[in-house]
Structure 1
Amino acid sequence: MSESTRERLVAAAYALFDERGYDATTVDAVAERAGVGRTTFFRAFRSKDDAVLPDHDAVLARVTARLEAAPATAAPATVATAASEAAHLVLAHYLDEGERARARYRLTRTVPALRQREVAGLQAYQRVFREFFRGRVGDGETGEVRAEVLAAAVVTAHNHVLRRWLREEEPEPVGALDRALADVLAVLGPHRPGTGRTRVVVLEADDDLDTVVPAVRAALERREP
Structure 2
Amino acid sequence: MPDDTDRFRLQVVSEALRLFAEKGYEATTVDEIAEAAGISRRTFFRQFRAKEDVVFADHEILLEQAAAFLDAEHEDPWAAVCEAAMIVFERFSHWRDVASRRYAVVHEVPALRDREIVTGFRYERLFVDYLRARLPDEQDLTMVQFAAAVTATHNYLLRRMVRDGAATTSTELRSALAALRRDIDRRGGRDGAGDDMVVAVFPRGTAPRQVADLLQRRLELGGL
SS class of match (1:22): coil
Partner of 2:79: 81
Q: Cα distance 1:127–1:5, how it changes in 2: closer, same or farther (>3 A)?
A: closer
- Deviation at residue 169 of structure 1 after TM alignment: 4.7
Q: Are 1:122 and 2:120 an aligned pair?
A: yes
Aligned counterpart in structure 1 of residue 68 of structure 2, from 65, 90, 93: 65
Which deviates the most, 115-124 or 164-173? 164-173
Which deviates the most, 123-132 or 8-17? 8-17
SS class of match (1:139): coil
Partner of 1:158: 154
Inter-partner Cα distance in structure 2 for 1:147 and 1:45: 33
Amino acid in structure 2 at the alignment position of 1:83: V
- Deviation at residue 148 of structure 1 after TM alignment: 0.8
Partner of 1:56: 59
Q: Cα distance 1:35–1:62, how it changes in 2: closer, same or farther (>3 A)?
A: closer
SS class of match (2:182): helix
Aligned counterpart in structure 1 of residue 18 of structure 2, from 15, 18, 36: 15
- Deviation at residue 150 of structure 1 after TM alignment: 0.6
Amino acid in structure 1 at the alignment position of 2:174: D
What TM-score, normalized by structure 2, do the two folds share?
0.73
Partner of 2:163: 167
Inter-partner Cα distance in structure 2 for 1:177 and 1:5: 29
- Deviation at residue 8 of structure 1 after TM alignment: 4.5
Which deviates the most, 4-13 or 31-40? 4-13
Inter-partner Cα distance in structure 1 for 2:181 and 2:71: 18
- Deviation at residue 171 of structure 1 after TM alignment: 1.0
1:173-213 Cα deviation digits (max 9, x unpaired) = 21110121122222221625xxxxxxxxxxxxxxxxxxxxx
**Which ranges in structure 2 are unaligned for 5 or more consecutive residues?**
190-224
Mark the structure with the bigger radius of gyration.
Answer: 2
Partner of 1:33: 36
Amino acid in structure 1 at the alignment position of 2:50: S
Tell whether the 8 Å contact from 1:52 to 1:104 is kept in structure 2 after alignment. yes
Amino acid in structure 2 at the alignment position of 1:172: T
Tell whether the 8 Å contact from 1:157 to 1:177 is kept in structure 2 after alignment. yes
Q: Are 1:144 and 2:144 an aligned pair?
A: no
Amino acid in structure 2 at the alignment position of 1:95: S
SS class of match (2:99): helix
**Which ranges in structure 1 are unaligned for 5 or more consecutive residues?**
193-225
Tell whether the 8 Å contact from 2:157 to 2:168 is kept in structure 1 after alignment. no
- Deviation at residue 64 of structure 1 after TM alignment: 1.7
- Deviation at residue 134 of structure 1 after TM alignment: 2.2
Inter-partner Cα distance in structure 2 for 1:30 and 1:103: 15
> Kindly, what percent of the aligned residue pairs are identical?
37
Which deviates the most, 57-66 or 3-12? 3-12
Tell whether the 8 Å contact from 2:10 to 2:58 is kept in structure 1 after alignment. no
Amino acid in structure 2 at the alignment position of 1:94: F
- Deviation at residue 40 of structure 1 after TM alignment: 2.1
Q: Cα distance 1:165–1:5, how it changes in 2: closer, same or farther (>3 A)?
A: closer
Count residues with an aligned counterpart: 185
- Deviation at residue 135 of structure 1 after TM alignment: 6.0
Partner of 2:45: 42
Amino acid in structure 1 at the alignment position of 2:103: Y
Tell whether the 8 Å contact from 1:126 to 1:151 is kept in structure 2 after alignment. yes
Tell whether the 8 Å contact from 1:83 to 1:129 is kept in structure 2 after alignment. yes
Q: Are 1:107 and 2:114 an aligned pair?
A: no
Which deviates the most, 78-87 or 20-29? 78-87
Amino acid in structure 1 at the alignment position of 2:122: A
Tell whether the 8 Å contact from 1:138 to 1:146 is kept in structure 2 after alignment. no
Inter-partner Cα distance in structure 1 for 2:79 and 2:185: 13
